[in-house]
Structures are given as structure tokens and as C-alpha cells.
Amino acid sequence: MAKRKRSRRRTPTPPPSEQVLPGVVSARLPVPESIPRPDYADSGRPADRASRAVRTPDEIAAMRVAGRVAAEALIEVGRHVVPGITTDELDRIGHEAMVEAGAYPSTLNYRGYPKSLCSSVNEVICHGIPDSRQLADGDIVNIDVTAFIEGVHGDTSATFLVGEVDEASVELVATAREAMHAGIATVAPGSRVYDIGRAIEAVAKPHGFSVVREFIGHGIGDQFHTSLQIPHYFDPRNSTEFEPGMTFTIEPMINLGNRRMQMWDDDWTVVTRDLQRSAQFEHTILVTEDGHELLTVPASGEPAEAHVFDHLETLPPSQSDGEHDEQADAATIRTGPST
Ligand code: MF3
Ligand code: CO
Ligand code: CO
């Protein structure tokens, strides 16, 4: 029997920033009456998760619109990610971008969630609630935007670097993005749900990073979350075969330390137990006749995730064999204009 290849273990180092603490959550932002709302907008309770996984041609056309609106709102929010801005201000920017496009921000009152997007800073894995906390130089922040328009949802997120970020965090963010794309690349008619998780783990594990299991990708359409489950780890029991017309998200959460998590008292904010950082990227995907299509893309140009590293001189190595690359470790990570 072959010896199983051990993944590289990281020597635990203290997180490069102070623990994230809850701030003040501002009043709920209004959505004009003229904008059509999802079923839960007033009650906070969505209808039971539907199992229908294949969308109609009309729904697919609508999902391209919802995906575009979400992608463009995410780009707009990403432009404003700088040290000193509060996550509450970012929420307002995302809210206004969606409302101006005629969309309802899907997270608003979804199961009682109070804001128009999620902002997950540093050790926050997901579902961070925008509040009065200012982003600090060196933070990483995932912004997760979902838009409801033409009766359907589009869901996308990216993790942004705030100012000058330490090298391990840059490697984490780059790996999370690469893992999402590796998962997406497996999607085609005849491939199976478990192929996605396998591909994601193959990217994350050689870095010594862990993959979150409690939160997974999901079917999406006229409902924000349908019953279709997309784990980001290899689960051989999840052998559902993809067919053209299926729509779902791939949104791996990758942790620098172990995958253990903990929930804040607000019943939303999910953080790592070891307080090491976590990064995530998300797209909404359509299965096509011959592969897949990204639905969460802007009308022109590239999605937000493609620009997360634009201001860096060099990227950390994209390791696949766990070898240590001295050269890349010595590279300078520089942000902002050179002086
Ligand atoms: N956008 C998240 C997802 O990717 C869900 C957020 S639900 C909320 O599935 F209620 F927390 F906003
Ligand atoms: Co999602
Ligand atoms: Co999302």
C-alpha cells in the first residue's frame, strides 16, 4: 500500500492582527416599493427549499441579469475597500448599487439577516454583519453580494486585501481563489458534485490550509438557497450528476489554520476557533450543453475576483507539491502607489 502523502503542516503563528470584535449595526436601509421583493422580504422566512434543479430558458436569461447586477455591485464595493472605511459604509455602497440597478439586496431580512451584504474580516469565515468597524491596514475582507431581480438571485463574493497584507494572508487569498476556479473547471454535463470538492481540496491541502465543511455551495434560482448541496470537500456520497440548465454556487471557505469554527452571539457571524484567517470566493454557475458558464460577471470587463491582486508586485507561489520556494518567500508584497 502506498504511503499517503502528508500535506504540509503550518507552524502556527499568531494572527497578524487584533481579534475582530462586534461593532454597532446601523438601522436597516430601505428598498423602494417599486422594486420587486423575494417572498421572505417582509416575514424573514423563505419558502421551503425546492428541489427543482434545472432552470427554464427564461429563468436562465433572468439569472444572467441577476448575476451581472451582483457582480457589478461587488466590483463597486471592492473599489471602496481601503483602510479606514467601515463595513457599514461598504454595505451602503453595495445596497445603493443594487437598488439603482432595480434589484433587491437578497440578504436583507433573509432569515432576519439585517444588512444588504455580508462582510467577513480576517478570522470571520462567513456571514459577518456590516457594522461600525473600520478596516485596518493589513486586513482581508470578504464581501458577499446577492441580488434579486427578474424573479431570481445572483450570488458572488470576493476577498479583498486592505492596504499592505502579510504574505501568508496573500497566499491564503490566492489559494481560495484558485480553489474556486479548480472547482468550477470540473463542471460539465456528466461530471458529479463530488468532483468539485475533490478539485478544491487538491488545491488547498498542499498549502496546509483547511476547507470549511459546515457551509457549502447551493442551488440557486427563484430561491436564494435550493436543496441542491455543493460541498467544497470530497464527499463520495454526493454523486449527483450535472445536467444542462442546473444553476448553483461554488464558494469555498479556506482557512489558514484548522477548520474548526464558532458562532458569535449574533447567530450569524462565523469565526475560526483558532482565530487564524479565512478567505472565500464565490460565483454562480450554469451548467451548459458542453461545460459551464459563469453567471456572476459584469457586462464588460472582468469580475471583482480577477482584480484582487492587481496592486501587488508579485504573488506568492502557487504550490502544488508542498515544496518551499525561498525565492517567492523573499518577494516583496507592495500595495499602493510607489513613491
Ligand atoms: N450570500 C451567502 C451565500 O453565499 C448567504 C448569505 S445569507 C445571509 O450563500 F443571510 F447571511 F445574508
Ligand atoms: Co452562496
Ligand atoms: Co454568497
Confidence at residue 8, expressed as pLDDT on a 0 to 100 scale: 64
Ligand 1 contacts CB of residue 282 (under 6 A):
yes
For the purposes of burial, counting CB atoms within 10 Å of the CB of 4, is it exposed (0-12), middle (13-18) or buried (19 or more)?
A: exposed
Identity at 11, one-letter amino acid code: T
Q: Which atom of ligand 1 is nearest to the CA of 118?
A: 12
Ligand 1 contacts CB of residue 118 (under 6 A):
yes
pLDDT at 184 over 70: yes
Q: Which atom of ligand 1 is nearest to the CA of 115?
A: 12
Are the beta carbons of 217 and 238 closer than 8 angstroms?
Answer: no
Locate cell 470571520: which residue? 124
The residue whose C-alpha atom lies closest to atom 11 belonging to ligand 1 is: 127
- β-strand 270-272 against 217-218: which pairing, if any? unpaired
Rounded-to-5 percentages of helix, strand, coil across the chain: 25, 20, 55
Q: Which atom of ligand 1 is nearest to the CA of 112?
A: 10
Q: Which atom of ligand 1 is nearest to the CA of 146?
A: 1
Confidence at residue 3, expressed as pLDDT on a 0 to 100 scale: 58
Ligand 1 contacts CB of residue 110 (under 6 A):
yes
Pocket test for ligand 1, best of 109, 131, 224 (most atoms within 8 A of CB): 224
How many whole angstroms from 337 Cα to the centroid of ligand 2? 34
Question: What does pTM read for this prediction?
Answer: 0.92
Give the whole-angstrom CA distance, residue 271 versus residue 233: 19
Write out the three cell numbers for 136: 485596518
Confidence at residue 10, expressed as pLDDT on a 0 to 100 scale: 67
pLDDT in tens, 25-52: 999 999 999 999 999 999 999 999 998 9
Ligand 1 contacts CB of residue 267 (under 6 A):
no
pLDDT at 60 over 60: yes
- Candidates 90, 80, 62, 126; CA nearest to 277 is 126
Q: In sequence order, what are the beta bridge partners of 103?
A: none
Cα 51 from chain centre:
23
Ligand 1 contacts CB of residue 127 (under 6 A):
yes
For the purposes of burial, counting CB atoms within 10 Å of the CB of 299, is it exposed (0-12), middle (13-18) or buried (19 or more)?
A: exposed
Give the whole-angstrom CA distance, residue 274 versus residue 107: 28
Give the whole-angstrom CA distance, residue 222 versus residue 46: 11
Q: Give the single-character DSSP code of 6.
A: P
Are the beta carbons of 67 and 296 closer than 8 angstroms?
Answer: yes
Locate cell 464527499: which residue? 235
Ligand 1 contacts CB of residue 144 (under 6 A):
yes
How many whole angstroms from 291 Cα to the centroid of ligand 1? 26
How confident is residue 324, by pLDDT bands cut at 50, 70 and 90?
very low
How many whole angstroms from 155 Cα to the centroid of ligand 3? 5
Give the whole-angstrom CA distance, residue 9 versus residue 158: 26
Pocket test for ligand 1, best of 28, 155, 264 (most atoms within 8 A of CB): 155
What phi and psi values does residue 175 have, to the nearest 5 degrees? -70, -40
The ligand whose atoms approach the alpha carbon of 128 most closely is 1
- 57-315: CATH architecture: Alpha-Beta Complex (3.90)
Cα 72 from chain centre:
15
pLDDT in tens, 134-151: 999 999 999 999 999 999
Residue ranges of the domains in the chain? 57-315
pLDDT at 339 over 50: no
In the chain, what percentage of residues exceed pLDDT 70? 89
Identity at 86, one-letter amino acid code: T
Pocket test for ligand 1, best of 40, 91, 146, 220 (most atoms within 8 A of CB): 146
pLDDT in tens, 153-183: 999 999 999 999 999 999 999 999 999 999 9
Confidence at residue 255, expressed as pLDDT on a 0 to 100 scale: 98
pLDDT in tens, 188-209: 999 999 999 999 999 999 999 9
Give the whole-angstrom CA distance, residue 155 versus residue 70: 6
The 10 Å Cβ neighbour count of residue 277 is: 27
Confidence at residue 334, expressed as pLDDT on a 0 to 100 scale: 35
Ligand 1 contacts CB of residue 194 (under 6 A):
no
Ligand 1 contacts CB of residue 40 (under 6 A):
no
With both helix axes pointing from N to C terminus, report the angle between 87-100 and 57-79 in degrees, rounded to the nearest 10: 140
Ligand 1 contacts CB of residue 93 (under 6 A):
no
Ligand 1 contacts CB of residue 113 (under 6 A):
yes
How many whole angstroms from 230 Cα to the centroid of ligand 2? 10
Are the beta carbons of 285 and 249 closer than 8 angstroms?
Answer: yes
How many whole angstroms from 188 Cα to the centroid of ligand 3? 22
* 3-class secondary-structure state, position 270: strand
The end-to-end CA distance of the chain, in Å, is 57
